[in-house]
Structure 1
């Protein structure tokens, strides 16, 4: 209650003057009546304090001027009603005038103190309002992402609080206007905005704006500028981090494909897709340099329809003006815009696709220019600014994949040559044994048999010796035939794989159960690999497995032939325990197949071979020695 009364008495907005005059007159009248009532119990000299209450009230509400006027009226009423002679004014006796100066002096002091209290209260209220206004302006200016959009509500808020209509906050300097005044807003020597004041704003408001609000506005606008710049930097950083994360993820996916050793066509198309998605390009092509032209090995396009994609295997000339030709000449990353002034097959395709910019990055393999990666865009605004590092990262992965493919191709070719040389050596040894030593031993046996027939009957001991020699020679011929048959079985060349496996089963020291499905005619190198795998496996089972039976299965698995050999022995087969399995594995993998061995004491040993009948051609890569 007391706080509400004080706020009512000390309110900053001054009531109308006419109301103050009426209130002053009413206060004097009420004080006079009260003094006449109290005059019965107290001396008239002390009744002047009653008249000071109205002076205090009027001074607090209407200021010092009206308070002094009320003081003068109160002094007249005090003299007239309470000082002797009562109900009249006294001019002759000096002592009667003594209370009046004291009354006026005390009343003046009370009026001054009341006016000062009012002034201090007004200043405190103004400070509080300014603080609240600054907080509201900070809420408006610092919580928005667009500072320009926040200036209008901030201007309305400031204009309403300062009672200055059409007041405006701007970021730019004020152009020459006749009906406005500009207050520059400067923070640390940097202009951060302008406060525009319309003509007609009272001078106290102007002074208050200059002294109180301008510094706060300068600080707020500077903080808003800093916040906006910080938001921009953070947004740019977030975009950059997101871009780097996408780029690294794409590079990891491509690196994984490179490590897996997938086919070149799949890899190139995957790289084109990742590059196009990352760069937001319209078309991407990976081309290899060939004499006089480039060949498309991988391509991608965001548009549907095969006509939008550069066909795989298509060739494009190098004697025209193009990015590919420029990269071939310079060996550096190249950009090109419009092809409007160019002619030829490439320029026609570019104009048809609406391409507005092209970037080409060289693909360097083993120090030589192998090809070029082309990125096309149909956007009006350039998209490929600052992309050199990203493109080069992908081209380096492509170069690594090509180098790996070349190394794998060279390794496969080398292994194939070794296997082919070994097979040829086997055939030559088998042929030499059959046509050379075996034939000579057979001839020698026939000659000894003829000599035996010509020995006279009485020479029985000599006949028996010749007969034993002929029998021993026949055994040597048989052993030589078996050896020749193991080097390269003639039945494999004459009858095929199935009869050769049956012959192996018949000669095996252990029972062999065959499950041989009909298979189409197989290439000779595939039959030889399967035959020697079966022969080596049966030999190992007989020597080491201590098995009771061997199961041999032959059949088709899609486009591949599958051979499985399983026993019920003691297990223990391992690649590291001998060169036989390693040699078989090399022979099978040379043909693009797989050899798996599973061996345990509980289940025995299982060996499986899968070889594709139609070999996937190894992609040959050649570097242009330009």
Structure 2
């Protein structure tokens, strides 16, 4: 293949030193041969030309080596082989010499090529080992900057350098150092080595080491970015999982209708654990100018109690988060508390620098807000408001549920109270009006009976019978009025009323009542009707032989236990009178538990708050 024009000058420039070296070798070898020809046989002087032949062939290749072989044969024949100073190549020995020189040229070229190939292979292995070591150092390091010194030391050891360093940024060269910039999309470092290195080492650095290092450093940078993205994703997933777990815990509290105070405290605690904050407060607006703390959390309990303790009322100071939320009904943040007001001064004294607030909307009304504050110079993250919204929604749900439950309980209590009041009014009307009139009529009938002459015996018997029937009617009316509302409760209290119920019961009653003070009417009436209904059920349905009634009051709670030895099998869900008892007890804020295994009997456990 014909070389391209740009390659020819380079090849010529490479051959010229070879030709000059060949000429010098021939001259020196001939002079030495002439000097030795007087002492040694001429045929042995041909060995002198082998040195130049091997040298030229090794350094400049087979072509120039063959030319050198022919030239050596000519010079040897012309200057040393008798007759001297004559050239005659037709002699057999000249042909042998030429053949030997050419064979030696071929052999030298083959040996040089084999040596170069072996050297290249060895160098390739060394380069591969060095690249593998550098790759391990750079790509396995957790931090790229921490791996640079070890990489520089390994490079200096492999190249037998006195020292080497890899520095970030640009490092200028000087008389004692050489610099090799390493560039990439995300890499900007400099390799520094001592000055005065040999050209092969410098060429190896520039052509092999530097490009390889650039690729490795770029790959390490990409790996760091990928690892950073992976860590960020992992942290984000962990944060989301933690938030979801916190929301599930709060949702469970809301679903179980936990008290408002417990929910508010849980909301503050969960937000405090999730956000980089110093305090978390749940605030309820009382009026247009004041608010009250109903839930709080802080890094120090003593500090939060000194700042915004539960039940603390404070003004809606202009420029504070609470005032901004009250005015805008939207999330708000304050990055610096610079005001001179009471609230701003108190917060600054405890190191609070910034705060974010999110409104709590119940229905369509602004109920309050959730506040997260920080003590660092850095503002709270931009997504703080978004992360707080779900917690404020759960707080709003808890408030709405609590209000609904409170309204329901109040409504049930009003219904029961109205029914009791209607019973009381009917019982009073029957006692004061109807019953008294019937008693008066009965007395008149007895008077009329006494005034009838003895001879009107039949008429007298008829009037007596009517008076007796009227007395029985009055007795039944009294029983009916007692069932509507036990008047004995107002006169003698619950213990006396229960004793009367026990005496009137058709089933024997073992009564154990321990009451140190008179109970409120609501609690007493509820307990009375529970015992009355239980005794009626024991007589009608349970076929019990005895009923045990135990009543005590401890820690403002009335504990009532009613146990019979009947047939059991009672269930409130099957439409028995226990449904009415459950409604009445729950309307009074209490609880009732029914246990009625078949063949074992029925047990009612009732707890009613005494307030």
In the alignment, is residue 237 of structure 1 matched against residue 237 of structure 2?
Answer: no
Say if 1:141 and 1:221, in contact at 8 Å, map to a contact too.
Answer: yes
Are the counterparts in 2 of residues 361 and 373 from structure 1 also a CA contact under 8 Å? yes
SS for the counterpart of 1:496 is: helix
- Give the number of equivalent residue pairs: 558
Kindly state the Cα deviation for residue 512 of structure 1 after the two structures are TM-superposed.
1.1
The offset of 1:198, in angstroms, is 5.4
Indicate the residue corresponding to 1:253 in structure 2: 249
- Separation in 2, partners of 1:553, 1:410: 32
Work out the CA distance in 2 between the residues paired with 1:319 and 1:358: 14
Cα distance between partner residues in 2 of 1:555 and 1:481: 30
Cα contact 1:359–1:384 (8 A) shared by 2: no
* 2:7 matched residue in structure 1: none
The reply to whether residue 211 of structure 1 matches residue 204 of structure 2 is no
Which residue in 2 is equivalent to 1:100?
97
Q: Distance in 2 between matches of 1:84 and 1:165?
A: 55
Following TM superposition, by how much is the alpha carbon of 1:204 offset from its aligned partner in structure 2, in angstroms? Answer: 2.9
Deviation sequence 1:306-352 (CA, Å, 0-9, x none)? 65341211111124331111111111111112223x12211111111
Instruction: Identify the match of residue 533 of structure 1 among 530, 534, 546.
Output: 530
Give the corresponding residue for 1:115. Answer: 112
Quick one: higher RCO (CA 8 Å, sep 6+), 1 or 2?
1
Helix, strand or coil: the match of 1:98?
helix
Using structure 1 for the length normalisation, give the TM-score.
Answer: 0.81
- Report whether the alignment pairs 1:225 with 2:199: no
- Does residue 366 of structure 1 match 2:363? yes
Cα distance in 2 between the residues matched to 1:59 and 1:244: 76
Match of 2:11 in 1: none
Cα distance in 1 for residues equivalent to 2:573 and 2:383: 53
Task: Indicate whether 1:609 and 2:606 are aligned.
Answer: yes
**What residue number does 2:565 align with?**
568
Deviates more, 1:579-588 or 1:142-151: 579-588
Q: For 1:183-332, what aligned pairs fall within 5 Å after superposition?
A: 183-186=180-183, 193-196=189-192, 199-291=195-287, 292-305=289-302, 307-332=305-330
Quote the Cα distance in structure 1 between the aligned partners of 2:295 and 2:549.
44
Structure 1: gaps of 5 or more residues: 1-44, 615-626
Q: Does 1:517 align with 2:510?
A: no
- Structure 2 unaligned spans of 5+: 1-42
Contact 1:362-1:369 within 8 A present in 2 as well: yes
SS in 2 for 1:385: coil
Q: 1:450, CA displacement in angstroms?
A: 1.5
CA distance in 1, matches of 2:81, 2:323: 124
- Structure-to-structure mapping, 1:369-384, within 5 angstroms: 369-384=366-381
**Residue in structure 2 matched with residue 545 of structure 1 by the alignment:** 542
Structure 2 contact 186–221 (Cα < 8 Å) conserved:
no
| Distance apart, 1:480 and its partner CA | 0.3
Distance 1:414 1:190 in 2: 71
1:39 corresponds to: none
CA drift at 1:404: 0.8
In the alignment, the residues of structure 1 paired with residue 586 and residue 56 of structure 2 have an alpha-carbon distance, to the nearest angstrom, of 108
Which residue in the other structure is 1:389 paired with? 386
Partner residue of 2:38? none
Q: Is the 8 A contact 1:269 1:300 kept in 2?
A: yes
In 2, Cα distance between the equivalents of 1:165 and 1:96? 56
Secondary structure of the corresponding residue to residue 362 of structure 1 = strand
TM-score scaled by length of structure 2: 0.83
| Alpha-carbon distance change, 235 to 190 in structure 1, aligned in 2, over 3 angstroms | closer
User: Shift of the alpha carbon at 1:477?
Assistant: 0.5
Query: Does the CA-based 8 Å contact 1:593-1:611 persist in structure 2?
Result: yes
Structure 2 CA distance, aligned partners of 1:61 and 1:312?
Answer: 100
